[in-house]
Amino acid sequence: MLETIASHLDAVAALAPTWGLVFVFVFMAVESSFVPFPSEVVMIPAGFLAARGELGLGGPVPAVLAALVVGVAGSLAGAYVNYFLALWVGKPFLERHGKWFFLKPAALERACEVFNRYGAATTFVCRMIPAIRQLISIPAGISRMPLGSFTLFTALGAGIWTAILAATGFAIGRSTADITYLELCVKGKEMAAANLPFVVAGALVLVAAHFAVSRLVLKGGRAR
């Protein structure tokens, strides 16, 4: 899929100065919903075009920051689709008819298992993990996770992942004279994957710290 989509990026890039941020929002919303679509072919080229001054909005730094904000907004929009659909129709419906949403029963069961085992914080950590990144919004909706918490955790996780991809594309755009979009996506994906374990480890540390502080606060409240 990466090769197929990357082969069409030349045509999309020609429209980037005018429609670039719209494309970022729409494709990140698609990527974050049921439709299988790699975010690497959205945010890495967005960062690359920003570095080259081809995304509009003046200088490279404002352009890449705008792409980051719009990318997170698109990710939230797609996550809301999964969340509210799951909340409204429930798990039995998705188990029976999930194939119409590109949702395999085994994938649904795995996402629900992860969410039920590790709790709401998975909507933060799993936003940075391929394959389950989009699906984790579904058990959140099934479990009726508070919308505020869902939004916060999803935005944080999507923000980190989106920033990694945009920064990767930006760095390549600054350091590489000539490169095809397929080479850009492949190289960027490899760079992001190489650093992903450290990012996920850092996210887990943050989650552990959050729970530790929460327990201390709760103990202090009970003591009083």
CA–CA dist 123, 77 (Å, integer):
14
**Taking the CB of residue 188, how many other CB atoms lie within 10 A of it?**
27
Q: Residue type for 120, please? A: A
More confident residue, 206 or 122: 122
CA–CA dist 138, 91 (Å, integer):
9
Residue (of 129, 123, 128, 130) closest to 148 by Cα position: 123
Which residue segment(s) compose the domain that 10 sits in? 2-223
The structure tokens 């799951």 sit at 86
CA–CA dist 31, 90 (Å, integer):
22
pLDDT at 127: 83
Domain count, the chain: 1
Summarised one tens digit per residue, pLDDT across range 21-69 is 888 999 899 888 877 777 888 888 888 888 888 887 778 888 899 999 9
82 contacts 29 by C-beta, under 8 angstroms: no
Mean of all residue pLDDT scores within the chain? 79
pLDDT at 78: 93
Residue (of 216, 171, 208, 209) closest to 190 by Cα position: 171
Distance between the two ends of the chain, CA-based, in angstroms? Answer: 58
CA–CA dist 91, 115 (Å, integer):
13
DSSP 26-73: HHHHHHHSSS---THHHHHHHHHHHHTT-SSSSSHHHHHHHHHHHHHH
154 contacts 121 by C-beta, under 8 angstroms: no
pLDDT at 77: 95
CA–CA dist 75, 72 (Å, integer):
5
Summarised one tens digit per residue, pLDDT across range 150-204 is 999 899 888 988 988 888 888 888 877 677 666 776 777 777 666 666 555 665 6
Residue (of 36, 124, 120) closest to 78 by Cα position: 36
- Percent of the residues in the chain that have a pLDDT greater than 90, as a whole number: 18
Global pTM reads 0.78
